[in-house]
Amino acid sequence: MGALSNFYQEQRRWLNAIFGIGVVAAFWSFADWQVNSELFFVGPWRVVTYTYGLFASGEILDDLYISGIEFFWGFGVAAFAGIAFGMIFGISRVFREFFDPWLSAVYATPSVALAPLIIIWFGVDLTAKIVIVLITAVVPIVLNTYTGVLSVGKEFQTLANSFCIPQRQVLYKILIPGSLPYIVTGLRLGISRGIVGVVVGEYFGAYAGLGYQLFKGLDTFNMPLMMSCAAMLAGTGVVLNQVILVIERRMAPWRDSTLQE
Amino acid sequence: MSSSIQVEQVHKTFMKPTGETVHAVGGIDMDLRPGTFYSFVGPSGCGKTTMLHMIHGLLPPTRGRILLDGDEVVGPTPNKAVVFQQALLLPWRNVTDNIQFGIENDRGMSATERREICDKYTQIVGLRGFESHYPHELSGGMQQRVNLARALAVNPEILLMDEPFASLDAQTRLLMQEELQRMVDWKNSGKIVIFVTHDIEEAVFLSDVVFCFSFRPGTIMKEIKVPFPTPRTLRVKEEPEFLQIKHDIWELLADEARKAMEE
Ligand SMILES: Nc1ncnc2c1ncn2[C@@H]1O[C@H](COP(=O)(O)OP(=O)(O)OP(=O)(O)O)[C@@H](O)[C@H]1O
Ligand SMILES: [Mg+2]
């Protein structure tokens, strides 16, 4: 008894997560059994085997590659530009006041509304999708980075000033480490929004990609394909979020004890 | 090299965002000589921290001026260092790296020298074994000692200390009072030390001169010279003359403290 409850305490996070997945999978299977039509619904096991089939036959690899490229470049540029601009926003009040309305406007505009314009400007090829991912992902990164910079207490500026630390060094000795938690939040939001961007971009004309396959499934009444693509998109989001969290734990050991809560 | 500081008719008025003004410092004159330990005592909110920050150049005076070797102080310089009232440690740096904060830009210093200095002050403030701990893993008193070591590591000519021992336990505090004299050795090195404290006994024990501040706007009510030779041992605190000085300051400040309480 004691050993078992100890085991549960130690592995609690995983056990609970697995249990949660199991419960949902059970309901999902039950619903599938009730609906009993692959045209409308497929169960979790079918999604797994179908996805496996897509990989085994190799037919999905191209799409994964294309979507991957779109996301990689779009999000990569968004991360760099977002953090850089966020820093400038945080440091320069004039800059902030000048561009804040635009930032809010882009943030409030759904990517679906911008995508058609971008497709027209950049064509149906990769560039357009990269731009769509970039634009959707960059805003939360900018916003969070600059909130982070503002959250770094003025007293730390005073401290740096008092020890004659040059302004240039204040950036990487105070502002960047101080706003790291916010930057991480921004990146995580950026990932989710970037994945949405991939799907939206591929909706408005594409020749390959996970989103493209999803909409192809819609056109061809291929429910397993649609659900499999949706599952892969969701899985990517989960994995990338975990990657960011692991990186943060590595880079920010001083936050360890708070993170574990 | 030793410096002197002149504070001439300095006032400081703060303007709050609401438009309200606070007259924190109300016309202070001081003539600070090298090789001397000064204390500021006075009721809470009377402008001690403000005065200290103005001497460092972190805040400009509203009126009057502060001269360091004849030149007006316009900002912090590397020959001054502050022990802040709040520890103000960088949460993302461990003990060693926090202590190193003030000396890592010193180009005349090699990495090994820097390391040695850090080790030395880590040892002095009793944090051996905690080098790689982060601030959130330290007690309040330990954080305050890192704050102290960070300023001492700079080996400044002018050391400005804002209640550095306030969060230490009583025993450590007494030990640090003795230790500080050895560490800073202001007589021989010609340094100026300014030490803000609420503990009158501590002020008298450490200082050559105690400045007694009035309630806000802070002015110097009295400048008291403490005649005992330095370095002193804790036994000095039992001498009749010591007790007399302590008592006099107490009397002087009691009324001001009452005014502060009634605010
Ligand atoms: N940045 C500021 N803006 C507005 N008012 C301020 C500011 N800094 C200090 N004050 C006010 O100036 C007065 C003096 O403050 P100061 O911190 O110098 O007091 P102190 O003597 O150090 O007090 P304590 O012993 O409690 O630390 C206080 O009334 C405080 O409210
Ligand atoms: Mg103070």
> How large is the ipTM?
0.87
The residue whose C-alpha atom lies closest to atom 29 belonging to ligand 1 is B45
Q: Is A256 left (phi over 0), alpha (psi -120 to 50) or beta?
A: alpha
Within 10 Å of residue B57's Cβ, how many Cβ atoms? Answer: 19
Which CATH superfamily does the domain covering A39-251 fall into? Answer: MetI-like (1.10.3720.10)
Mean pLDDT, range A201-210, rounded to an integer = 86
> What is chain B's pLDDT, residue by residue, as a tens digit (263 residues)?
678 899 999 999 998 889 899 998 888 999 999 999 999 999 888 899 999 999 999 999 999 999 999 899 998 998 999 999 888 999 999 999 999 999 988 778 888 899 999 999 999 888 999 999 999 888 888 898 999 999 999 989 999 999 988 888 888 888 888 888 888 888 888 899 999 999 999 999 999 999 999 988 889 999 999 988 888 888 888 889 999 999 999 988 888 777 777 77
- Decide if pLDDT at A256 tops 70: no
Res A261 pLDDT > 70: no
Q: Which of A159, A174, A254 lies closest to B136 in CB terms?
A: A254
Mutate to test the interface with A, among B74, B92, B158 (most CBs of A within 10 A): B92
The model carries a pTM of: 0.81
Question: DSSP letter string over B42-68?
Answer: --TTSSHHHHHHHHHTSS--SEEEEEE
| Ligand 1 within 6 A of CB of B86 | no
**Vertex B132, ends B127 and B136: CA angle to 5°?**
85
User: Domain spans of chain B?
Assistant: 1-79+188-263, 80-155
State yes or no: pLDDT of A100 exceeds 90: no
Atom of ligand 1 nearest to the CA of B85: 27
**Structure token pair of residue A31:** 């619903």
Q: What is the topology classification, in CATH, of domain B1-79+188-263?
A: Rossmann fold (3.40.50)
Q: Which residues does chain A have within 8 Å of residue B91's beta carbon, measured at their own beta carbons?
A: 254
The most confident of A99-113, A184-198, A205-219, by mean pLDDT: A184-198
A155 at interface of B, judged by CB pairs closer than 8 A: yes
Cβ atoms of residues B197 and B165 within 8 Å: yes
Q: Report the C-alpha gap between A127 and A119 in whole angstroms.
A: 9
Omega before B217 within 30 of 0, i.e. cis? yes
Choose among A26, A163, A220: nearest CA to B56: A163
Q: What is the band of A258 on the pLDDT scale with cuts at 50, 70, 90?
A: very low
Name the one residue in this structure whose structure tokens are 């080996």.
Answer: B155
Report pLDDT for B1: 61
